[in-house]
Amino acid sequence: MSTSEADLRRDVAVLEQYRTQIEALAQQQEILRVSLEEHLRARETLLRFQQAGKGAEILVPLGANSFVVAEIKDSEKAFVGVGSDLVVHDAIPAQMERLDQRIKSITDAANAIAQRIEQVQRRAEAQSAAVQESYERMQAAQGERS
């Protein structure tokens, strides 16, 4: 194997690593997007729940597009998970503040991943140019030998 062929193989391997990194980061970004949507939906639901007031009838989602009708007994407090199967029963404004903090953390993480994707994409583009250059050098060297 010639030096230019070895260079080309190395450059292609590095390019493939960048593509793998971009794919992994995109998957992380998708997970964060879904989590952000869920948190925003929870925040909006808490707000509407509080606005509906005590005694209002609401639809409670069960999953699989199924619902039951329920009556609000306490429109001022809600249960929100805080991790490790721990749930806090607290005033809705406090719960919304917790959700806002989580939303900010998720948004910050998503922004950091987006920046990282941009960096890796720039490196991948530069590496793609290096692959092309290595290939052209290898072709030129083979042409000189013929």
What is the residue-wise DSSP string for 73-132? S-SSEEEEEEETTEEEEEEHHHHHHHHHHHHHHHHHHHHHHHHHHHHHHHHHHHHHHHHH
Mean pLDDT score across all residues of the chain: 92
Ranges of each domain in the chain:
3-145
- Percent of the chain surpassing pLDDT 70: 97
- The answer on pLDDT for 139 being more than 80 is yes
CATH (residue range 3-145): 1.10.287.370
pLDDT of residue 52: 93
> Directed axis angle between helix 3-52 and helix 92-145, to 10°?
160
User: CA–CA separation, 80 vs 145, rounded Å?
Assistant: 72
Question: In one letter, which amino acid is 68?
Answer: V
Confidence of residue 1 (pLDDT cuts 50, 70, 90): low
For 71-91, write each residue's pLDDT tens digit.
999 999 999 888 888 999 999
pLDDT of residue 6: 85
